[in-house]
């Protein structure tokens, strides 16, 4: 299995809702990531988990709360989002934690298209 | 800290060649290249580690000049399937940043 699976693919939520994005990989990768991507922009790093521990938080607002229940799963809990948080949320994984010294890069999931209304 | 790519956009006819450049203001440990088609996830193409190497991947190859903190992606004899947005990604220590992106369109 060489995939990163994200659910749901699309999500519409109100500003008072609580929802969660899920990500799963079964490649034995030791690091997992959340990225946010706006249209026609590069992905922006939000969080990095290395060996199930949060290692990098790129000053993300507290309305985004990551969770890594085990080495294969990564969640992103959403609460009280704003319309400007609407974006494509990408999960990724890598065999090792950064800096990557091997020959493989990051494997991305197909993303969750989030719309906040 | 975000690497800058050039050109921002390029249109090619099938069979033509293209070069995409990636330049960083910081010393680099490695450079990644990804392609993202509209509405899809970025797909890893290749990684170049410190050492000034050049790598190939079918008709797509890349070079990495660590002294100049630059990398270039070479696409030869382009195919329609090459269309998409290409991102370089640079690693400095344990920080990774995607470049500004280059939109590449291949037309028949």
Tell me what pLDDT residue B61 has.
92
Q: Look at residue B53 and tell me whether its pLDDT is greater than 80.
A: no
Residue B11 in tokens:
């249109």
**If you measure CA to CA, which chain A residue comes closest to B101?**
A42
Q: Provide the CB-side half-sphere exposure for A49 (13 A, CA).
A: 24
Q: Is the dihedral of CA A35, A63, A26, B30 positive or negative?
A: positive
Question: Taking CB atoms and an 8 Å cutoff, what residues of chain A touch B95?
Answer: 98
Q: How far is A39 from chain B (nearest CA, A)?
A: 10
Q: Look at residue B56 and tell me whether its pLDDT is greater than 90.
A: no
For residue range A92-114, list pLDDT tens digits in order: 999 988 777 777 889 999 999 99
Question: Taking CB atoms and an 8 Å cutoff, what residues of chain A touch B91?
Answer: 98-100
For residue range B22-48, list pLDDT tens digits in order: 999 988 888 999 999 998 999 999 999
Whether A99 and B42 lie within 8 Å, measured CB to CB:
no
Whether B32 and A106 lie within 8 Å, measured CB to CB:
yes
Poorest-confidence range of A18-27, B18-27, B55-64?
B55-64
Q: Determine contact: B95 vs chain A, CB below 8 A.
A: yes
Render the burial of A25-62: b for 16+ CB within 10 Å, e for the rest. beeebebbbbbbbeeeebbbbbbbbbeeeeebeeebee
Tell me what pLDDT residue A55 has.
87
Tell me what pLDDT residue A1 has.
64
Whether A110 and B47 lie within 8 Å, measured CB to CB:
no
């Amino acid at each position: 299995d060489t995939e990163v699976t994200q659910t749901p693919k699309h999500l519409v939520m109100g500003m008072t809702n609580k929802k969660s994005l899920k990500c799963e990989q079964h490649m034995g990768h030791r690091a997992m990531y959340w990225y946010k991507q706006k249209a026609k922009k590069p992905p922006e790093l939000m969080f990095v988990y290395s060996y199930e521990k949060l290692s990098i938080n790129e000053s993300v607002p507290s309305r985004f709360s990551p969770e890594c229940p085990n080495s294969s799963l990564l969640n992103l809990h959403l609460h009280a989002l704003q319309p400007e948080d609407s974006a494509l949320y990408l999960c990724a994984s890598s065999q090792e934690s950064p800096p990557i010294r091997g020959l493989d890069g990051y494997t991305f999931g197909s993303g969750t298209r989030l719309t906040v209304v | 800290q975000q690497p800058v790519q050039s050109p921002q956009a390029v249109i090619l006819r099938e069979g033509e060649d293209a070069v995409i450049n990636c330049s960083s203001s910081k010393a680099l440990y490695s450079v990644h290249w990804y392609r993202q088609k509209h509405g899809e996830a970025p797909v890893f193409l290749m990684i170049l580690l410190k050492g000034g190497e050049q790598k190939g991947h079918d008709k797509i190859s890349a070079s990495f000049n660590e002294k100049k903190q630059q990398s270039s992606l070479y696409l030869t004899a382009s195919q329609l399937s090459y269309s998409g947005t290409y991102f370089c990604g640079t690693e400095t220590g344990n920080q990774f940043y995607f470049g500004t992106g280059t939109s590449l369109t291949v037309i028949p």
